[in-house]
Structure 1
Amino acid sequence: MHNNRYAPPAALLPIALAVTLALAACGGSSDDSTATSSPDNFSVPAAPKGLGTADTAPVQDEASILPFVDYAYTNQRGDARYATDATNAGVRVLDGYLALWTPSTLIVDAGVTAAANGSYPAVVASSWTGIPGDSTDGTIVNASILSTNINYVINATTSRTADQATAAYLDDRRQKGYSVTDGMGPLTGAWRTAAQQTTTITSVASDATTVLYNDNGNNIGVGTSSGNTSFGAAVDLISSMGNNASTEPAKRFYKYARPWRWSSSVIVVPALVPAESGTPNVDGGFPSGHAAEAGRDGLAMAYLVPERFQEMATRALELGENRIIAGMHSPLDVMGGRIQSEALVAANLVANTAATRQAAVTQAHTALMAATNTTTLAAFNQYAHSGTTSTDRFADHATNKANYLRRLTYGFPQIADTGKTAQVPKDAEILLETRLPYLSADQRRIVLKTTAVASGYPVMDDKEGWGRLNLFAAADGYGAFNGDVSVAMDATQGGFNALDYWQNDIAGKGKFSLSGTGTLVFNGNNSYTGGTEIDGGTLQADSVTGFGNGDVYVAGGTAVFNATSPVTTVNYTQLAAGSTQANLGNNGQGQLKASGTVTLVGGTLNVKFASGFAPAVGSTLTVITAGKLQGKFTTVNVAGFKATPVYTSTGMQIQITG
């Protein structure tokens, strides 16, 4: 199914109202058709209290955890022979691997001193062969997981299709920055033109089984120093993700062989056989360099064009999986590449100034909007998601979500403590800076915390927390309100500040409050219990439990009921400055169903109708059902029809009169 989650729903678009029914304010006179059996005088409930505190995701004590973003500079290719988890951040971020495999130790070289080199200890790498079974390489700690790891590759390579083999070949031989840009979907052509990207690998040559073809294209494109004045700043930002980014130190330290060396049952794509290294002692499998580079490029592009954030993150992980299908790497290898890439992108984004980052984002949007003839961020967002599954393989959100989650763990069982609270690494929140611009940095950290993968999976439990990040889920907003959450959106800034969707199933005991002028849509299976308060802007429920399992309090702004079945709440209160919008359709669509009391202290009700639904004249439509209803709306507007509101002690309906 086509993913149209970013397109403004029809219910939010301006609709000319054929009639406005002005009713007497609560307590005023009314005729029998609008009478309510509730008393004229009643107590107005107070707003939900919530927990009274906000959740936190503090940075860990730097005395015991060396933040990757502060020590990324230690990850240098030239020091690869001497790197250890104590001296190199690129090695250390992957130290969860030590629960599976103990690499051979480094040997002190009396001829090298720390004082002489100044950047690494007086050690050299032991002579490892890169051939499985040689004790000089290391020893197996968890045989079950490592066996599962190689068996996964055997199954993947012996069952792959011809199309999968082609995709694996292209992702191997093409430069990674060029490959992943097809994650831009409808924007791919505009992106590649603006970046001036090129590749020389466009297909599998007939003699590829015997000839090694290398990509002579320019990978990520042309930067400002080479004259790209309209898109060079964006290319430069992506290029900076390669700083301190070598996977060589980690490969040399962990000394874990490629899967086709572990088992002859692993069938490398025949066209990639010429790419197999003949020097196993310098050809480590863990982590995957291709997966790491794809992650760096993909996440940088996601930062620049957050309208395709999840699609680009998905594409980056797809390239990693293609390394497995190729037979060149194992699941653990590509998992390591993902983890290291996320840490490096955060570190390198921080290393760029805020002004540099903003200039790159602005330039990317200016160029791409011009290329797509879109003049607003909303129109650009719609264009970015205008493809179908036949033209954009990342067009379906649910499919992307499932694939991303599967590629985080590759089905490995949890082998350690499964109940650890997620830690958020220092500055990791910068990865969401453009995707959730209306949240504070602290709030983005909490989003990462509440959407993190459970603990205990192989490799992913690094000490700082990079391995457990689920950036796809984080782009869908909070996973839980474990404290009270207040969001202010400014629609004048456009883009996600004006309209955004939170698609996670939000749990927790906290309260959610919305203010400002933007629109936020909840469509998860939400169970948070602290209540919902709308003080400004629009909060829309696209699912039955969109507003959680608590009270809803509309002090200002608008609550929109847009689910295909009645939206449930406990108590519902609307003050005079508030507004309710019911997008009615068949089978209870757009209705409000409160198990407790609905209190209406005036305000406005706007009734609109779902696409394809046209009520018959003379019909009566339910808007609200409740355990008890008290009060009335001041004004009721019904789109396209004349109607009369009817209030009872347990609900509210409209009669279509013309």
Structure 2
Amino acid sequence: MQQLAARPLLLALSIAVALSACGGSDTDAPLVIPAAPADQGAAETVAVPATTAFVDTVATNQRGDARYATLATNAGVRVLGGFLSVWKPLTEIVDAGVTAPALDGFPAVVASTWSGVPGDGTPDGAIVNAAVHQANIAYVVNATANRTAEQAVQAYLDDRRGKGYSVSDGMGPLTAAWRAAAQQTTSITSVAADATTVLYNDSGNNTGVGGSANASFGSVVDLVNLVGNNASTEPAKRFYKYARPYRWSGSVQVLPSLVPAKSPTPATDGGFPSGHSAEAVRDAIAMAYAVPERYQEMLSRGLELGEMRIIAGMHSPLDVIGGRILGTASAAANLADSANAAKKAAAVTQAHAALMAATGTSADTFASYAQSGTAANDRFASYATNKANYLRRLTFGFAPVGATTVAAPVPKGAEVLLETRLPYLSEAQRRVVLKTTALPAGYPVLDDAEGWGRMNLFAAADGYGAFNGNVTISMDASKGGFNAADRWRNDIGGSGKLIKQGTGTLKLAGANTWSGGTELTAGTLQGDSVAAFGTGDVYNSGGTLVANAPAALRLAGQYTQLSGGTTLELDVAGASAGSQGTLTVGTTATIAGGTLRVKFANGYKPKAGDVLTVITAGSLKGKFSTIMVDGFSNVTPAYNPGSLALTLN
């Protein structure tokens, strides 16, 4: 046993001796160490919009004031003001003194008979953008004509069940544990045979049992309920008076099992915004906040429920978009309230303790368990599918109707939505993430003054969309979770510089193009894609740079590795995988010492005598102090002017 324990030291010594005997012409020349990539200026910041903030005025959104709500008096009405470019209620027309000719030939006022007959009984108001309105209703006509039997069942369940119960299945492998811990119940488990004539209401408890009555999970349930404070959609419905899609067109096929759920009083049953969508989104956000290991999956489930409202024929895409905006803003306002800080922390701690206990996991294994679902048992197991669906559901295919190049504002307090998902970033940095991942401007309804409509939280969970100025990331692995390791999958652009500090591991997996370079001073920076490090120089002065791309990790500029605690790790997968795990440097690779560590991935097992070319460069200068190759006690390096090859002995 003692002899085995001594082998790593002997291996390091033997390799160091071998290194001193091998070299090429460039590596023997006096080594000139390049400077680190130049600083690109102060970090980008995003100012709070100069408009009344939803988070400051959320208490004005009161259900009891629905009859009297206006843009000036109600936060829930105001945040949806972008809808006025599509439809204007009578009160807005009268207050603004708008006449029929100003509305491009459309009637200034539509009679409010509310008969419920398609094409008649539309609410008081006028269509402002006929193309968008017609596309909005046509979308529902098409969706209801082509829904599948499976979609019909889900649309019914998502309508009649409590929204908190419905969206909790976004937890995937954690769903059973979550529902058991929350003590969630529902009485709607299937579509009854007589559902076409009988209205069934859920007698379950929706989000579960909160407070002291649920010692192990009550704080989590309380958090989900908390985000519903001041979140009613009724004031906005009463203000905008936009009819449900089946009242606009007889071609909309309401789900037969939901016909009993149609309101007999259209005047109090507006379509915009969708209440189901708003509640699903805010519940999903609260659950994602408590368990960020399922962040994108929970957000996907929230938006999926909104789409089910369209497929059911009960709402239009614009209704659902409005619900998303109001639901997101309401969740943020409650999470950003300093009075709720202790409640948030208690919920996050309790959620992890209870779910780990229920699943037999630990702090080290919980995240992987949360992501262990398959297509057979987790509808949200596919990241690519989730991403595509989420992006589609943000706009439902509407074309922009305005300028698309306007920079995205970021609402006051919105950064709280990323607080547990990107805990190693500052509030200012999270605001930049929201800006650089936002949707383009110009889409119907989405251009509210604060920026709630343009936020793409799914993309924001994958980190920055662009680096502008210096971007310094410091991760403390001792805090665990995403502080210890995280992966960014966005395609990062910009002209800024990335500076990685701290003991944690940051993995980059996008097709990145930022140009200001990368400086690694501590911890681990891993390239999971060919273009992980953009187009600038990479400078390793104190950490571990890992090449784990599906082909050679390509550094477009220079690579510099200093001596001391630096490591270059190459996760090589072998000839069958091409150059996976190797490193290609576009210009000069300058190696002033440090360690080269070669690991083998995907079951690759090279044999003694194999020669591996692990680094290619326009010019290779210098040498590593130590080379370590898994499974081999003796390695002979060959430093050439443009490559490094290792013979495995």
Conserved? CA contact 1:542–1:563, under 8 Å: yes
Alpha carbons 2:27, 2:623 under 8 Å: kept = no
One-letter code of the match for 2:592? V
2:485·2:504 contact (CA, 8 Å) conserved in 1?
Answer: yes
The amino acid that maps onto 1:333 is: D
- Please report how far the alpha carbon of residue 483 of structure 1 lies from its aligned counterpart in structure 2 after TM superposition: 2.1
| 1:42 shift after superposition | 2.3
Give the equivalent residue in structure 1 for 2:458.
472
What is the CA distance between 1:405 and its match in structure 2? Answer: 0.2
Secondary structure of the structure 2 residue equivalent to 1:198: coil
Change (3 A) 1:484 1:214: same
Contact 1:84 1:253 in 2 (8 A): yes
CA distance 1:414–1:25, shift in 2 (3 Å): same
**Residue in 1 aligned with 2:617?**
626
CA distance in 2: counterparts of 1:246 and 1:515, whole angstroms: 44
- The number of residue pairs the alignment matches comes to 619
SS in structure 1 of the partner of residue 257 of structure 2: helix
2:238 maps to amino acid: R
Task: Specify the SS of the correspondent of 1:308.
Answer: helix
The answer for the alignment partner of 2:300 in structure 1 is 314
Match of 2:543 in 1: 557
Aligned to 1:30: 20
Distance verdict in 2 for CA 1:267–1:95, change over 3 Å:
same
- Is 2:559 the partner of 1:572? yes
In the aligned structure 2, how far is the partner of 1:91 from the partner of 1:517?
Answer: 46
**Aligned pair 1:45/2:34, yes or no?**
yes
Report the 3-state secondary structure (helix = DSSP H, G, I; strand = E; otherwise coil) of the residue aligned with 1:488: strand
Q: Which amino acid aligns with 1:187?
A: L
The 1:215/1:510 distance shift into structure 2, 3 A limit, reads same
SS of 1:405's equivalent in the other structure is: helix
Does the CA contact (< 8 Å) of 1:23 and 1:633 recur in 2? no
Match of 1:160 in 2: 147
1:557 Cα offset (Å): 0.9
- Give the equivalent residue in structure 1 for 2:101: none
2:380 to 384, 387, 394: 394
Cα shift at 1:38: 3.1
The answer to whether the aligner puts 1:269 opposite 2:235 as a matched pair is no
- Aligned twin of 1:87: 73
Segment drifting more, 367-376 vs 286-295: 367-376
Where structure 1 has 5 or more consecutive residues not aligned to the other structure, the ranges are 1-15, 110-125
| CA displacement 1:396-448 (0-9 Å, x = unmatched) | 11110000000000000000111000000001000000000000000000000
Q: Letter of the aligned partner of 1:52 in structure 2?
A: G
Which amino acid is the alignment partner of residue 648 of structure 2?
Answer: I
**What TM-score do the two structures reach when normalised by structure 1?**
0.91
2:580 pairs with 1:595: no
* Aligned AA (1:596): T
Deviations 1:65-101 (A, max 9, x none): 1000000000001000000111100001000100001
Amino acid at match of 2:144: T
- What residue is the counterpart of 1:129 in the other structure? 114
Contact 1:23 1:635 in 2 (8 A): no
1:346 CA displacement: 0.6
For 2:420 and 2:8, the matched residues in 1 are separated by: 36
- Partners of 1:454 and 1:593 lie apart in 2 by 35
Structure-2-length-normalised TM-score? 0.93
Partner Cα separation in structure 1 for residue 220 and residue 39 of structure 2: 43
Q: Which has the higher contact order (CA 8 A, sep 6+)?
A: 1
The 1:21/1:272 distance shift into structure 2, 3 A limit, reads same
- Structure 1 residues 127, 267: closer, same or farther in 2, change over 3 A? closer
**1:643 Cα deviation after fit:** 1.6
- What letter is aligned with 2:156? Y
Q: Is the 8 A contact 1:17 1:637 kept in 2?
A: no
Identity fraction in percent: 61
Q: How far apart in 2 are the matches of 1:314 and 1:24?
A: 51
Q: Distance in 2 between matches of 1:338 and 1:473?
A: 16
Cross-structure match for 1:237: 223
What does residue range 218-617 of structure 1 map to in structure 2 within 5 Å?
Answer: 218-225=205-212, 227-351=213-337, 352-376=339-363, 378-569=364-555, 570-577=557-564, 578-586=566-574, 587-617=578-608
The alignment yields a C-alpha RMSD, in angstroms, of: 1.9
SS of equivalent to 1:353: helix
Task: Assess if the C-alpha contact under 8 Å between 2:114 and 2:122 holds in 1.
Answer: no
- The amino acid across from 2:604 in the alignment is F
- Once residues 447 and 258 of structure 2 are traced to their aligned partners in structure 1, the CA distance between those partners, rounded to angstroms, is 33
Change (3 A) 1:71 1:573: same
Q: CA deviation at 1:333?
A: 0.4
1:640 and 2:631 equivalent? Answer: yes
**Structure-2 residue corresponding to 1:4:** none
* Residue of 50, 55, 59 corresponding to 2:48: 59
Cα distance in 2 between the residues matched to 1:654 and 1:335: 57
Distance 1:229 1:445 in 2: 35
Contact conserved, 1:525 with 1:543, CA < 8 A, in 2? yes
CA pair 135-187 structure 1, distance change in 2 beyond 3 A: closer
Cα deviation for residue 392 of structure 1 reads: 0.2
- Matched residues in 1 for 2:82 and 2:527: separation? 40
Using the alignment, how far apart are the partners of 1:328 and 1:135 within structure 2?
15
